[in-house]
Amino acid sequence: MSKKKKQATEELVQTQVLNIEEVRRVANYEKKLSKKPAAICAILGIFMILLGGTSQGYISYNQMMLETSTKQKNVAARKVNDNLQSNTTLTCTLAKAANPDGTNFLATFTYKFTNNQLKGIKKELLMDGYNTQGLITIFDQYTIYQNLATLGNTVNGYSITSGPHDNVGFYVTTEIDLTKVDATKVPDIYSTLMYTSVDYKLNTKSEEIKTNYEALGFTCTSASESVNK
């Protein structure tokens, strides 16, 4: 043992001895007055000696518990984030009035995404006639879509509904669940009509659809929300 370490050890022992001697002197003095105060002082003295050794352990324990709690909160936060899905929609609209065939129409196409992967399509067409020629066009178009609705509703994940609108027009709504529909079972005639076609495959990215429709004159807007899995 080096001289410095030996000296430090001797000083520590001497300090502990002096502390104990001090406790004994207080205890002997109090013993003359009362047994209870002497006992209390003795216990207090021992407590003070031990306090220095135990306080650091208490601080370390608290620090450890704090770090553990922080880690648990971080893990819980990561699990919450992992369970969130980003559901978004891309809505593209096109309105045209006073068309040469005597009609007005409004087309609204909504594409539904989960984590930017296409899962569903909803296409809506509202058309009416503003003159005699337009009413004839409306009648012909309405008949076609009614027949398609009957045929399309036999395909799983695909549906078409159609009905009259204000006695001068009609509406058509096509809904496609790409997670269920079998594209090979969708009649070919649907691909010839913009309002009934399955124009994009499952998991297509929204950027591709937006670019294509804006090139056709549509106005496209996005909306998003986060939901639990």
Q: Which of 10-14, 26-30, 151-155 has the highest mean pLDDT?
A: 151-155
DSSP 160-226: EEEEEETTTEEEEEEEEETTT--GGGS-GGGGGSTTT---S-TT--HHHHHHHHHHTT-EEEEEEEE
Give percent above pLDDT 90 in the chain. 51
The answer to whether residue 44 scores a pLDDT higher than 70 is no
Mean pLDDT of 106-116: 98
What's the chain's average pLDDT? 78
CB contact set of 158 (below 8 Å; sequence gap of 6+): 152, 174, 175, 176, 177, 181, 186, 198
- List the one residue out of 41, 53, 54 whose CA is nearest residue 12: 53
